Amino acid sequence: MFSVHFLPAGDNFCSQTQNLGNCRGPAVHYSLGRFDIPTNRLNPNGYIPDEDLRFTVVYFKYGYNHNLNSTRSPTYEVTFDMNSRKWKCTCPDFTSRRVNLGTCCKHIQGAIDLRDNYDRFNDPMYLNLLGMHIT
């Protein structure tokens, strides 16, 4: 008899150097952290900016890069527009689903958390890892 352990389906953010494929694998391999950034929060949420903002976000889940010939992972542009008072992201999840649902993708939520210095997991590795992926 053996037991099967599945990781939570939602782990969606880990380091490029430690990814073992879609942020899965034994937790001991993720010394930089592995997190499940929520994707169901309303757009906008948190502190509402009083100016237009732009962030470049390096792809959060390196093991799922469809372009096998690529030597670098894709980046997405996250912006806050003062006129619409909404966040936007160029990732496929946002452009194909979240924009219609009025919710944030993980890239937007990561940018909001980093900007607000919000450690939602009570784990300093979260903000450190965001800082390595968002400029």
Q: Establish if 6 belongs to a structural domain.
A: no
pLDDT recorded at residue 67: 52
Work out the mean pLDDT of the chain and round it to a whole number: 82
8-47: pLDDT as tens digits: 445 788 876 776 667 777 777 788 888 889 988 999 888 8
Q: Establish if 54 belongs to a structural domain.
A: yes
Number of domains forming the structure of the chain: 1
Q: Establish if 79 belongs to a structural domain.
A: yes
Q: Establish if 16 belongs to a structural domain.
A: no
Q: How far apart are the first and last CA of the chain?
A: 49
Q: Establish if 23 belongs to a structural domain.
A: no
Instruction: Please provide the DSSP assignment of 33-65 as one string.
Output: -EE---S-SBSS-SSPPSS-EEEEEE-S-GGG-
By residue range, what is the domain housing residue 119?
Answer: 37-133
76-134: pLDDT as tens digits: 999 999 999 999 999 999 999 999 999 999 999 999 999 999 999 999 899 999 998 89
Q: Establish if 14 belongs to a structural domain.
A: no
